[in-house]
Structure 1
Amino acid sequence: MKEKSIVIKIGGSLLFDMNHNINAQKISDFCDIVKKHPNYDKIIIVVGGGIIAREYIQIVRSFTQNEALCDTFGIDISRINARLLISYLGSSAYPLVPKSIEELSIANLQNRIVLMGGLQPGQSTTSVALEVAEYIAAPKLIILTDVGGIYNKDPKKFDDARLIEHINSADLTKLIIKRKNNLQAAAGEYRIFDTVSLQIIKRSNISVFITSGLNLEKFKRFWNQGDENIGTIVSDKK
């Protein structure tokens, strides 16, 4: 039985290799998995800006202290990344990148995969993905990032970091505050969740699955077989 809809968030940095060159193989592998969608009628993919966006923002920030302007660079890069995936998906994808929820509502009427980037300054692409999931009443959001899920401490800094397989939004908020002392990220700063995204999780009852996109095998299991044991589940459902 097909589920009505699902949202995927893919980190922009996953589209590039260690030398910041476009990783065409990763893009084709990801898109080939998504094109075969036996379990979903509606698919929205939100693409992040990644390392390229952060490099632009770093330079812009050296010119000006205008964080909103920095955000617009990240948004533009994320939309270009979305277009990159559209170019591979071809007729399977809606040809335009929606720049608002209103434009998304039109795109979602088509029987095609819809790809998006950022929407507005001050909003991460993760919060965009959650807003989109809430808007289209998708029960699940899967986030592909460069770590295996949510850990009790930064796995890039601590070898003994422990993967948290299940966490609710209240405990996740406490964990992030403990780690960062605040919830709001600056333009271009990568955090899996920020204030807005946590608020949407609390009010929407969406289940969020976080897994590594460095290797797509876990995502493939989730997509084709419904395997939810792929990293961390953030959910307030009992």
Structure 2
Amino acid sequence: MILTTPKNSFVLSVGGSVFAPNGEDNKIDIPYLHNFETFIRKEIAKKRRFFLVVGGGYTARQYRDAAKKAAGHDLTDEDLDWLGIHATRLNAHLFRTIFRDVAYPWILKHFDMVDKNAVNYPIVICGGWKPGWSTDYDAALLANDYHINTVINLSNIDQVYDKDPNKHKDARPIDKMGWDELTGLVGKAWRPGMNSPFDPIAAQLGKKIGLKVIIANGHDFANLAKILDGKDFTGTVIE
């Protein structure tokens, strides 16, 4: 069976840093969630459909840090990843609850199969799947499974830089880059909780399947609208 995904379908990878940032307060950003909900509801009124892949944010980091401190010794990467995965699923349920009236009733969390019923809903919420990568990889798998050629990765940065802009004042933003160039920046190995524009394992998959990824600031809804409308936008295109 060949699955036919409706036109105007988008995969949005919503980074946890956008709605559950690390900081002094470590709180879920409720005003952001309200603005995100308002924006998405306006877009689905235009007959657009969204797969929302939700990250872990500070929720994942808190559980990983607590486990390390409570255990009193280093934990395996697999155990740390599972804590992060379940954090993404909790966050995914938060999003599903917000969009309860229009979203597919079940969280997608297994990406070795295609759920043919999911495409009948304007919004499908997804959490993490397996250890060894982040939800970036899950978003790439999802796009491939449902024949969507672009992932829009919503982060707390406007673009990818050639080096860490928080440490280097001369860091330059990158408008377009290839997968090999990204791998040169982020490496090839995944570490639980690592901070990178797009996770290294997902980058390898993206290159393999010919995926296009757009990195953009998740707080700039006017810019996101331009991306969806095919207009000029601020961000980094990876392909």
User: TM-score range, shorter-chain basis?
Assistant: 0.7 to 0.9
Per the alignment, do residues 96 and 109 of structure 1 end up closer, same or farther by CA in structure 2, a change over 3 Å counting?
same
Q: Which residue of 1 aligns with 2:3?
A: none
Match of 1:7 among 2, 11, 35: 11
How far, CA to CA, are the matches of 1:122 and 1:102 in structure 2? 15
Contact 1:82/1:97 (CA < 8 Å) preserved in 2?
yes
How far, CA to CA, are the matches of 2:190 and 2:34 in structure 1? 31
Cα offsets for 1:109-145 (capped at 9, x unmatched): 4223101111011121111111111111101110011
Per the alignment, do residues 166 and 156 of structure 1 end up closer, same or farther by CA in structure 2, a change over 3 Å counting?
same
Match of 1:16 among 20, 26, 45: 20
Aligned residues, how many?
Answer: 228
The answer to whether 1:170 aligns with 2:174 is no
SS in 2 for 1:91: coil
SS in 2 for 1:233: strand
Match of 1:66 among 55, 71, 76: 76
Unmatched segments (≥5 aa) in structure 1: 178-182
The answer to whether 1:218 aligns with 2:213 is no
Compute the RMSD of aligned alpha carbons: 2.1
SS in 2 for 1:81: helix
Larger mean Cα displacement after TM superposition, 103-112 or 51-60: 103-112
Q: Which residue of 2 aligns with 1:31?
A: 37
What's the TM-score once normalised by structure 2's chain length? 0.86
Per the alignment, do residues 176 and 190 of structure 1 end up closer, same or farther by CA in structure 2, a change over 3 Å counting?
closer
Matched residue type, 2:183? T
Matched residue type, 1:200? L
Per the alignment, do residues 228 and 60 of structure 1 end up closer, same or farther by CA in structure 2, a change over 3 Å counting?
farther
How far, CA to CA, are the matches of 2:236 and 2:94 in structure 1? 28
Q: Which residue of 2 aligns with 1:136?
A: 146
Match of 1:119 among 129, 150, 169: 129
SS in 1 for 2:193: coil
Contact 1:118/1:125 (CA < 8 Å) preserved in 2?
yes
How far, CA to CA, are the matches of 1:156 and 1:3 in structure 2? 39
Per the alignment, do residues 172 and 189 of structure 1 end up closer, same or farther by CA in structure 2, a change over 3 Å counting?
closer
Match of 2:104 among 79, 94, 97: 94
1:53 to partner: Cα distance: 0.7
1:73 to partner: Cα distance: 0.9
1:206 to partner: Cα distance: 1.8
The answer to whether 1:203 aligns with 2:208 is yes
How far, CA to CA, are the matches of 2:151 and 2:56 in structure 1? 18
Segments of 4+ moved more than 3 angstroms = 38-42
How far, CA to CA, are the matches of 2:189 and 2:104 in structure 1? 32
Matched residue type, 2:218? G
Contact 2:20/2:28 (CA < 8 Å) preserved in 1?
yes
SS in 2 for 1:144: strand
Match of 1:229 among 221, 229, 233: 233
How far, CA to CA, are the matches of 1:228 and 1:30 in structure 2? 21
Summarize the alignment of residues 149-164 of structure 1 with structure 2, pairs less than 5 Å apart. 149-164=159-174
